[in-house]
Amino acid sequence: MADNVPATKPYRDDADWWKSTTVYQIYPRSFCDSNGDGIGDIPGIVSKLDYLADLGIGVIWLSPVYASPMEDNGYDISDYRDIAPEFGTLADMDRLIAEAGKRGIGIVMDLVVNHTSDRHEWFEASRASRDNPKRDFYVWRDPAPDGGPPNDLPSYFAGSAWAFDEATGQYYMHLFAPGQPDLNWDNPQLRAEIYDMMNWWLDRGVAGFRMDVIDLIGKQPDRLIRNNGPKLHDYLQEMHREALAGRNVLTVGESWEATPETGLLFSGRDRDELSMVFQFQHVTSLWGEDGNKWRPRPFDLVTFKRALNEWQRALAEDGWNSLFVSNHDLPRAVSRYGDDRRHWRESATAIATVNHLMRGTPYVFQGEEIGMTNAGFTQIDQYRDVETLNFHAEHEAAGYDLAAFLDGAAANGRDNARTPVQWTAAKNSGFTDGIPWIGVNPNHDRINVDNQIGDEHSVLAHYRRLIGLRKTHPVVVHGDYVPCLEDNPQIFAFTRNLGNRRLAVVVNFSSEPARCDIPAGLETSGVCAISNYAPRDTIAGTLGLAPWEAFAVLSETRGQDPSSGSKSTGTDTAQR
């Protein structure tokens, strides 16, 4: 199968190329609308490829563009080998792959194979009769003796994970919406169909897959097991053999329950599974009691650092981290972790500095690079997201406090990430000439790409510099990671070390000035690699930091002054 890989590969040839790249996530519905129907589309993405190339990214992770009834904005797929008409055509997709490839950018597809849409032909066959050959592609069970659902398994989108099908008198399982029936991975024909489809996309030239809720595919519904089922890793290894081996592509699995212990199972060198996983411990450790995302706790730096540092430690020798602070399911990073009012620019750039300089592959979610903020929705009718709407209805039915729920949704709801990208200050932020499918953030008059594109002090320029640093300094990619000041409640600091090269990173992760005594392990003197205030080249003594001040110093251990050596040691990036 590897013979079929097109001659002009849109991604790089060297092994582990995905360690040194930066990935940009596009949520197509909200990115750029080319035809005025209010919905972002593939031609809209093509029109922005020069912007993305200029930012320096090497890969686009494209949230689903497949045919779909859009109950969950494309995470409910009705045909894996076609494109949703609102997003374009297969020809548009081929053009995107080719045009991105010309700019050295690979396209990573979202692979949603824990479930399909209930309009997928497999499910239509499966529900047609109990003896249909595709019946077993999904998970069907008899009702409980009282006629109710077979057991208490809950859906992630509120309510039971079981829906009753009148026609055949059984329940089918849906860990998400009823329109997203779960596939039965224990069926070998189903698995073969999926590998076949993956090969079809890889042969079209895509550079890999982001695998949606991949840790659910080993589910054991009768034992109430959703994540990390006993066969999960067997299936991933089989998938690797059947579709990925020899392809040299980027694969990243979404796993809300992955721990530093299980992280290596997914991404260990000799495991032959995935390049890396998205883990969420830095996200969920800040949720409320019992993991209630609608009652998030105030941000706490020590908790946040502990989660990230543990992962850095666990994958120090083997495996690989993915680095992200936002995506289409999370609030905007500058609103969740930063201070989007008093220190908007400083906190957006400080958070990015940490995220891009840890060890792993960084991901940028559309709009993050200009510091887009939460949506600011206050009414339920402003929301479009099935998860938010379902939980709102559940709270309403139970007579719970709806004002408190709306506060939770404003802080943590998924639509915060899904308002249109703010390209300009014009009406509808230059996203569409029509009526956008979801409200545009009114702050687009202030926060937009146009404003920042020529401004060297902008959030955008800072992201460009961070992405550039990774390309010029191997220590950013390959250096080891040593956390510093782990218990300090204001400062996020670490060093990266490779041979005699060293990068020391210090960030005041708070809105107050900070002072601290620099421990011996962090002391550095060299050249400033990046900063969001005035450049600094020394970390020593008692250091005073301005709110959200962030900088990194590049040095050579064993005496030599890096600024006297080659020109590529970092002064370039400080002045760009």
CA distance 497 to 362: 18
**118 or 254: whose CB is closer to ligand GLC?**
254
User: Any catalytic annotation for residue 254?
Assistant: yes
212, interface contact from ligand GLC, Ca ion, none, CB < 5-8 Å by kind: ligand GLC
238, interface contact from Ca ion, ligand GLC, none, CB < 5-8 Å by kind: none
CB of 107 to Ca ion, least distance (A): 19
41, interface contact from ligand GLC, Ca ion, none, CB < 5-8 Å by kind: Ca ion
DSSP designation for 137: G
> Distance from CA of residue 249 to its chain's centroid?
17
**85 or 188: whose CB is closer to Ca ion?**
85
Which residues, at least 6 apart from 357, have a Cβ–Cβ distance to it below 8 Å? Answer: 466, 469, 476, 494, 496, 503, 505, 552
Nearest Cα residue to 323 out of 532, 25, 45? 25
* The only residue of 1, 12, 20, 37 in contact with Ca ion, by rule CB under 5 A: 37
The reply to whether 92 sits near Ca ion by the rule CB under 5 A is: no
* Catalytic entry in 86, 92, 182, 212: 212
CB of 72 to ligand GLC, least distance (A): 5
Report the interface residues with ligand GLC, using CB under 6 A: 72, 75, 112, 176, 212-213, 254, 328-329
**194 or 543: whose CB is closer to ligand GLC?**
194
**134 or 328: whose CB is closer to ligand GLC?**
328
CA distance 434 to 302: 45
CA distances for 155 relative to 119, 162, 182, 314, 331, angstroms: 19, 8, 11, 31, 21
Complete DSSP assignment for 192-231: HHHHHHHHHHHHTT--EEEETTGGGTT-BGGGTB-SS-TT
* The only residue of 39, 333, 505, 554 in contact with Ca ion, by rule CB under 5 A: 39
Token pair 């990774």 is at which residue? 470
39, interface contact from ligand GLC, Ca ion, none, CB < 5-8 Å by kind: Ca ion
93, interface contact from ligand GLC, Ca ion, none, CB < 5-8 Å by kind: none
* Catalytic entry in 182, 254, 340, 415: 254
The reply to whether 35 sits near Ca ion by the rule CB under 5 A is: yes
Which residues, at least 6 apart from 474, have a Cβ–Cβ distance to it below 8 Å? Answer: 498, 501
**38 or 181: whose CB is closer to Ca ion?**
38
CA distance 254 to 265: 14
Nearest Cα residue to 575 out of 500, 469, 486? 469
**71 or 340: whose CB is closer to ligand GLC?**
71
CB of 176 to ligand GLC, least distance (A): 5
Radius of gyration in angstroms for the set of CA atoms belonging to the chain, rounded to a whole number: 24
Count the neighbouring beta carbons within 10 Å of the beta carbon of residue 494. Answer: 26
Complete DSSP assignment for 298-322: PP-HHHHHHHHHHHHHHTSSSS-BE
User: Any catalytic annotation for residue 212?
Assistant: yes
* The only residue of 24, 41, 275, 549 in contact with Ca ion, by rule CB under 5 A: 41
CB of 1 to ligand GLC, least distance (A): 27
CA distance 114 to 218: 9
Decide if 118 contacts 179 (C-beta within 8 A). yes
**329 or 346: whose CB is closer to ligand GLC?**
329
118, interface contact from Ca ion, ligand GLC, none, CB < 5-8 Å by kind: none
Q: Which stretch binds Ca ion (CB under 5 A): 30-38, 293-301, 330-338, 392-400?
A: 30-38
CB of 73 to ligand GLC, least distance (A): 7
CA distance 359 to 316: 8
Task: Write out the catalytic residue numbers.
Answer: 212, 254
Q: Which residues bind Ca ion (CB under 5 A)?
A: 33, 35, 37, 39, 41
